[in-house]
Amino acid sequence: DCLAQLVLEEAVCARRGERVLLQDHAESAILGGGEVLDPAAPAHRRLDESRRTWLQALQCASVGGSISHLLAKGQLVDLGRLARAWNLDPAQVSPEQSCGEQCRLFEVDGTRWCSAHGQWQSALESICAAVDRWHREQPTAQGIKARLLQEALAESTHPALLLGALAFSPLA
């Protein structure tokens, strides 16, 4: 088994789970075959660890298994994107059924997200630590602006997780 991204000359209509056969240009020989995992894959993207984890999650037997796999690997899950990859209506994706207490659901700018509980707690702790640090360095200032907090935590916290935690946090 291996993963491959096909770059085609023309757009095709494909769904996750469909079988494909690869033939030579003359259609005289079958070169290989496979199964569609992500028909909406980003074009010409190198297979980095994040992308590999996403594709491994799409190989799971259920959408709940995909969510569990992504959360176990420390990834934040865009539930709409995952629903589209599984050919589902976003309302049909219910992480609570597969993850229970292990996940935290939140919404940012109309996008539903799911994070592992530990990842959520870590974001809250990072926010509190950054705010404490800022106040120690600038004791007479009124408070840190959200944009500065986002910049301070940009490398360690996914932007959606940061915004979701800020909206939840008593500091907001």
82-119: per-residue pLDDT in tens? 998 998 888 888 777 666 667 888 989 999 999 998 89
Q: pLDDT averaged over the chain?
A: 85
Mean pLDDT of 34-63: 84
C-alpha dist (Å) from residue 2 to 20, 33, 38, 47: 14, 11, 14, 12
Contacts of 101 (CB under 8 A, 6+ apart): 117
Give CA 81 to chain center in angstroms: 8
- The Cα–Cα gap between 39 and 64 comes to 19
- pLDDT recorded at residue 48: 80
- pLDDT recorded at residue 170: 55
- The Cα–Cα gap between 88 and 94 comes to 11
Rounded to two decimals, the pTM is 0.81
Contacts of 158 (CB under 8 A, 6+ apart): 76
- pLDDT recorded at residue 13: 85
- pLDDT recorded at residue 37: 86
- pLDDT recorded at residue 101: 67
Asked whether the predicted pLDDT for residue 70 surpasses 90, the reply is yes
- pLDDT recorded at residue 100: 66
Asked whether the predicted pLDDT for residue 69 surpasses 90, the reply is yes
Calculate what percentage of the chain has a pLDDT beyond 90. 26
| 56-67 tens-digit pLDDT | 999 998 888 999
- pLDDT recorded at residue 172: 44
